[in-house]
Amino acid sequence: MTIAQETAELLTSLGVSKESFTGGDLPAKSPITGEKIADVRSVSPAEAGRIIEQADAAFRAWRLVPAPRRGELVRLLGEELRAHKAELGRLVSIEAGKIPSEGLGEVQEMIDICDFAVGLSRQLYGLTIATERPGHRMMETWHPLGVVGVISAFNFPVAVWSWNAALALVCGNAIVWKPSEKTPLTALACNAILKRAMARFGDAPEGLAQLLIGDRAVGEALVDHPKVALVSATGSTRMGRDVGPRLAKRFARAILELGGNNAGIVCPSADLDMALRAIAFGAMGTAGQRCTTLRRLFVHESIYDALVQRLRKAYESVSVGNPLTTNALVGPLIDEAAFRGMEKAIERARAEGGKVTGGSRIDTGDAAAFYVRPALVEMPDQTGPVTEETFAPILYVMKYSDFDEVLAKHNAVGAGLSSSIFTLDMREAERFLSADGSDCGIANVNIGTSGAEIGGAFGGEKETGGGRESGSDAWKAYMRRATNTVNYSKALPLAQGVSFDID
Ligand code: NAD
């Protein structure tokens, strides 16, 4: 069976109609062989506008449904995902090139966030606040916000949608999703799965969850539409530089989840066996195509040679290949542009004095597929391409001697997503997590930079955009906060002792 045939079977079994993935204008490809596997129909910006209007109408009904009942829809979505985990996980592997355990892991993340959101649907608490005026009560209430737009990247084609969708739905919002143009098929599948949950739910308003297949122009239509109250946009910092100001211009809310240039510090006391495994997964897993991928590694000079020697061995021996037919740990890059970007960064690193292990293309017989041996690049200093995110498996390694200096270098890049330290010295660990430690949204001790759990708020600072999604109190960004003061006295005292007595 060809990949295209298997894809058609998977889509059909997940409830996607044949018309949605045949005869359209947007070719869907699999990075595993580079071949075209479907033709999807994209929407025009004008159609996008009409779809957003439908979502707005659905929002007006959905916001009146009690939150625990809204949670029931998300519970059913979680059930459907459990039932279809194998098929959807396989489709993620086909469309994004992930190895099977990562494809399935991404669907598991969707199930986890659904569970979280179901609990949340009974916990959208507000505060009661002390008031300075007698006979008054002050409180906060949280109300549904409106239509939530979701823009997602190719590398987490389904999980990012679910982080937003599960929270937005229990918070009483409608959702309109613009997936990456590189991964439209998994988006069609998610939409079909949610539609099935909605059918079982019974009375969810028509238009509550919408899909906009298309490119950047469709994304822009979503960003600019006045009925979209919040856009949660995941992708490159370049995209965020465009989307952020456009949303600000019309005072819409933004959750920006942008690029990372994540670092690890390996200290003299580190458990090197543990560090080695964490570094290998963080830097080479998902073929270096996670926003949280480890890209910079600072190793103390006393253990540098020992660790780098072991890392080199791991880089030379890690299995790279077709994730559908082999047990390889590293699958393909998404496309040729990603490979060219990697080549260019390595070339620049060499010019800056970098010593490169790996980094070359591996021939699998498919001219349009781009498999690479991950690159380990020993750098004399943090210069040139080391300061930027290249979305490919390149790990820059640098030597350090002083802890204060390495902390400063760690923070001296534009992005601020994820970070980790490997140490058994509690002073170093606590300092790394303190106010003058890592400046990232995620800071870990003795685990790698990637593979976050849904229970914590996910996101980063600086050029990563500042947004938070998923767990903790990230839900608050999806709701309208109202401060309410009720006067149950017979007087009208003004706050701050102001008097304004009219006759
Ligand atoms: P990309 O920026 O090329 O595209 C992301 C999405 O934005 C796509 O759906 C695209 O169509 C849309 N888009 C692009 N320009 C737009 C515009 N001007 N207006 C509206 N929509 C627009 O990113 P990619 O190559 O798909 O993904 C890789 C990038 O995403 C990396 O930089 C990675 O670090 C980042 N990423 C970040 C996170 C996070 O949570 N911080 C998670 C995953 C990926």
Q: How far apart are CA 30 and CA 347, in angstroms?
A: 28
| Report field, pTM of the whole predicted structure over 0.95 | yes
What digits encode the pLDDT tens for the residues 128-174? 999 999 999 999 999 999 999 999 999 999 999 999 999 999 999 99
Q: What was the pLDDT predicted at 369?
A: 98
Question: For the segment 299-335, what is each residue's pLDDT rounded down to a tens digit?
Answer: 999 999 999 999 999 999 999 999 999 999 999 999 9
What is the domain count for the chain? 2
The two three-digit tokens of residue 83, written as one number: 């039932």
Residues 224 and 268 in one domain: no
Place of tokens 């939409």: 191
Ligand 1 atom 19, closest CA: 220
pLDDT in tens, 48-79: 999 999 999 999 999 999 999 999 999 999 99
- Give me the torsion for CA of 213, 216, 219, 221, rounded to 10°: -110
Q: Is the pLDDT of residue 408 over 90?
A: yes
49-55-57 Cα angle (round to 5): 110
Q: Which residues line ligand 1 (CB under 6 A)?
A: 151-156, 178, 180-181, 215-216, 219-220, 223, 234-236, 239, 242-243, 257-260, 291, 389, 391, 417, 464
One domain, residues 147 and 269: no
Q: How far is the CA of 258 from the centre of ligand 1 (A)?
A: 7
**Cβ 428 vs Cβ 444: under 8 Å:** no
Over residues 183-199, the mean pLDDT reads 98
Under 8 Å between Cβ of 252 and 480: no
Answer yes or no: is pLDDT of 503 > 90.
Answer: no
| Stretch 24-37: mean pLDDT | 97
For residue 163, the enclosing domain spans 3-258+465-482
Do 84 and 211 reside in the same domain of the chain?
A: yes
The secondary structure of residue 400, as a DSSP letter, is: E
Whose tokens are 């996980």? That residue is 89
Residue identifier of the C-alpha nearest atom 23 of ligand 1: 235
**CATH code: domain of residue 394:** 3.40.309.10
Kindly report, residue by residue over 245-298, the tens digit of the pLDDT.
999 999 999 999 999 999 999 999 999 999 999 999 999 999 999 999 999 999
Give yes or no: residues 23 and 139 share one domain.
Answer: yes
DSSP conformation letters of 412-480: -SSEESEEEEE-S-HHHHHHHHSTTS--SSEEEESS-SS---TTSEE--EETT-S--EESTTGGGGGEE
Residue type, 7: T
495 belongs to a structural domain: no
Q: In testing the pocket of ligand 1, which one of 95, 216, 394, 454 has its CB within 8 Å of the most ligand atoms? A: 216
What is the Å distance from ligand 1's center to 337 Cα? 15
In this structure, is residue 500 part of a structural domain?
A: no
Task: Give me the amino acid identity at 202.
Answer: G
Which pLDDT score, from 0 to 100, does residue 491 have?
96
How many CB atoms are located within 10 Å of the residue 372 CB?
24
pLDDT (average), residues 23-38: 97
The domain that holds 97 is classified in CATH as 3.40.605.10
Instruction: Find the 174 Cα to ligand 1 centroid distance in Å.
Output: 22
| Domain contains 66 | yes
Q: Catalytic residue positions?
A: 257
Q: Is 99 in the same domain as 60?
A: yes
| Contact between 315 and 357 (Cβ < 8 Å) | yes
Longest CA span, the chain: 91
Residue 460, pLDDT > 90, answer: yes
Using the mean position of ligand 1's atoms as its centre, give its distance from the Cα of residue 231 in Å. Answer: 13
| Helix/strand number for the chain, H first, E second | 15, 23
**d(C-alpha 223, C-alpha 151), whole Å:** 9
C-alpha atoms less than 13 angstroms from C-alpha of 79 in its C-beta half-sphere: 13
Phi, psi of 292 (to 5 degrees): -95, 10
Clarify whether residues 286 and 415 are in a common domain.
yes
